[in-house]
Structure 1
Amino acid sequence: MSTAHVLLGLLTGGPMHGYELKRSHDQRLPQAKPVAFGQVYATIGRLQRDGLVTTAGHDQEGGPERTSFEITEAGRKRLDDWLGEIEPPAPYVTSVLFAKVAVAVLVSGADRARDYLVAQRAAHMERLRSLTAVKTDPDSSLGDVVAADFAILHLDADLRWVANTLERVADLHREVHP
């Protein structure tokens, strides 16, 4: 995920200071990893350096001084270009789940991989239940539901892979222990 582009998108709604940007990020991308304050300020610094955001004002209402930022025309253009780019499918398998199973088979054979896959399937099923609860909660926002759908479909793909791999591991076990 491009934090810079997400922050530019958030600034299209009007000027915000760093704390507001972090809060808005975490609310509007509810299933994404929360962005750290330091990351917000470092990213805003780069965006400001590159002319994509500018200072909109300063506020000291009941606390420390806060600098608000707003998106520039160059920032709007950069955001528009980014939104128009098609994301290429990932060329490599970069899943920790895949790596653990591959290493378990390599190091310990089929039994360890099977035990891990069974435990992982249970963890995925529990996560599916919690995401389904988000989707059926009448207080969930559209962002919450869309994020839950995204996560559910990825978990579903993982679960199909786990089932397929459990079959392959069972075949390997039968070959090794006829």
Structure 2
Amino acid sequence: MSNAHVMLGLLSRGQQHGYDLKRAHDEQFPAAKPLAYGQVYATLQRLEKQGLVDPVTVERVDGPDRTVYALTDAGRAELHSWLESPEPPSPHVANPLAVKVTLTILAAGEAEASAYLQRQRAAHLNRMRHYTRAKTAPESSLPEVLAADYALAHLDADLRWIDAALQRVGALTKEITS
């Protein structure tokens, strides 16, 4: 997912300036990393150069000028095309936990690798408790609940991997140290 497509999607609701787009992003995607204003405006400038958005007016509201942008027909077509396309599964799986287990075995041995996995398991369980509280809080919005569900599913998959790795750490040690 690119910031450009996010900006196009948010502009599909109507004309907005960068401050509004940043606020809408942070409200609609509460679990995502917040966008910096610089990212928003740099993205809008790229989209304008590509003909996907047009500046329609400049407003002055107690501070610097604010350029209001609108989606062009080309921008709407690009957004539609992107929304229809499934995200391709990554051909490479980056698993920092597996890298750390392997390097811990090489640097400190099997016992320390097992201890690391136990610490990682505890950290994952703690984070799962955080997301469970967030998703069940009465004031949680549906975007927050959906983000928590997504995070919980990924953390659960990591926990299953951690449990499998704990069962195999001895065999892995023999394989990579022989």
TM-score, shorter chain, exceeding 0.5? yes
Q: Which residue of 1 aligns with 2:3?
A: 3
Shift of 1:173: 6.6
CA contact (8 A) 1:55 1:68 kept: yes
Give deviations 1:83-139, integer Å, cap 9, x for gaps: 111112111121322321222223333122111111111111111111111111121
Report the alpha carbon displacement of residue 170 of structure 1 after superposing the two structures with TM: 4.4
Unaligned runs of 5+ in 2: none
Judged with a 3 Å threshold, the aligned counterparts in structure 2 of structure 1 residues 25 and 125 are, in CA distance, closer, same or farther, namely same
Q: Which runs of 4+ in 1 moved over 6 A?
A: none
> For residues 66-145 of structure 1, what are the structure 2 equivalents within 5 Å?
66-145=66-145
Paired residue for 1:164? 164
Alignment of 1:9-20 (within 5 A): 9-20=9-20
Check the 8 A contact 2:105/2:173 in 1, yes or no.
no
Comparing 108-117 and 6-15, the one that deviates more: 108-117
Percent identical residues? 51
CA distance in 2, matches of 1:74, 1:173: 55
Write the distance in 2 (CA, Å) between the matches of 1:16 and 1:37. 14
SS of residue matched to 2:58: strand
* Alpha-carbon shift at residue 171 of structure 1 (Å): 4.8
Q: CA deviation at 1:4?
A: 0.6
Which secondary structure does the structure 1 equivalent of 2:69 belong to? strand
Farther off after superposition, 92-101 or 16-25: 92-101
C-alpha contact 1:111 1:173 (8 A) present in aligned 2: no
Partner of 1:51: 51
What is the CA–CA distance in structure 1 between the aligned matches of 2:136 and 2:10, rounded to whole Å? 27
* CA-atom RMSD in angstroms: 1.7
Deviation of residue 174 (structure 1)?
9.1
- Please give the secondary structure, in 2, of the residue aligned with 1:33: coil
Q: Distance in 2 between matches of 1:169 and 1:163?
A: 10
Structure 1 counterpart SS, 2:57: strand
The one-letter amino acid paired with 1:9 is: G
Report the residue type matching 1:148 in the other structure: A
* More divergent stretch after superposition (113-122 vs 155-164): 113-122
TM-score normalised by L of structure 2: 0.91
- TM-score, normalised on structure 1? 0.91
